[in-house]
A and B are shown apart, each in its own frame.
Chain A
Amino acid sequence: DIQMTQSPSSLSASVGDRVTITCRASQSISTYLNWYQQKPGKAPKLLMYGASSLQSGVPSRFSGSGSGTDFTLTISSRQPEDFATYYCQQSYSTPYTFGQGTKLEI
């Protein structure tokens, strides 16, 4: 299985801050990397796919980059509604493993 490692596991940031979350794959996954946002009691929501493509309806303050083994999710100016846990997931080969999550806190 491909192991996905996110850092940090939790992150405190104020409204307006720039936030960066990193995700590392245990082997190259090209750009088969997706990012999801999960709020408490809710299903995950797709934010980014193909490492850098913004899902329809997602605010443009979210962006993604990377290829191979190293990836980042950036929130350019954190908003109050961004309080959530963020997961990366590789869809290069099954099982489509997730990172352990990064909890974004106030």
Chain B
Amino acid sequence: EVQLVQSGAEVKKPGESLRISCKGSGYSFTSYWISWVRQTPGKGLEWMGRVDPSDSLIIYSPSLQGHVTISADRSISTAYLQWSSLKASDTAMYYCARLDKVSGTSDSWGQGTLVTVSS
């Protein structure tokens, strides 16, 4: 069974750093991209970027590039999303999803990680 398991909820203060994770199992981790999707409270879905675990090639959404870092460690089948300096506006639910390399379709999703940034 394909599974993406994300790390637990986080509560942070503005300016703090954070890294959340997404561990894949049940499939060849390097055969699919991993994407990150943000959902702010009561809002829709925003695609943040994707990483190819086979070569660590990363594509960011232009609106987010420079504020977050996406990475992957294929040796442990895990992808990461990290911030060096959180803002209150980063408060959101973050999902990772498995992306088909041909169609770009997200056919399996993690359960989500809620990040709350508040002073």
Contacts and interface: CB of A to CB of B under 8 A. Distances in A.
Interface of A: 1, 32, 34, 36, 38, 43-46, 49-50, 55, 87, 89, 91-92, 94-101
Given A1-B62, A49-B103, A44 B109 contact: yes
Contact of A96 (B35, B62, B95, B107): B35
Given A43-B111, A44-B95, A98-B45, A91 B50 contact: no
A96 B44 CA distance: 14
17 contacts: A1-B62, A32-B104, A36-B45, A43-B95, A43-B109, A43-B111, A44-B95, A44-B109, A46-B106, A46-B107, A49-B105, A91-B104, A91-B105, A94-B59, A95-B49, A95-B63, A96-B104
Contacts of B35: 96
Contacts of B112: 43
A30 B105 CA distance: 14
A40 to B, nearest CB: 11
A3 to B, nearest CB: 13
B47 A98 contact: yes
Nearest to B35: A96
Interface residues of B, number: 23
A1 B48 CA distance: 13
Given A91-B104, A95-B61, A95-B62, A100 B109 contact: no
Contact of A43 (B46, B49, B61, B110): B110
Closest 6 CB pairs of A and B: A91-B104, A95-B61, A43-B109, A49-B105, A98-B45, A96-B47
Given A32-B104, A95-B63, 19 more contacts: A32-B103, A43-B110, A44-B37, A44-B45, A44-B95, A44-B97, A45-B109, A46-B106, A46-B107, A49-B103, A87-B45, A91-B103, A92-B104, A94-B50, A95-B61, A95-B62, A96-B35, A97-B47, A98-B44
B105 A46 contact: yes
Contacts of B44: 87, 98-101
Contact of B107 (A55, A98, A100): A55
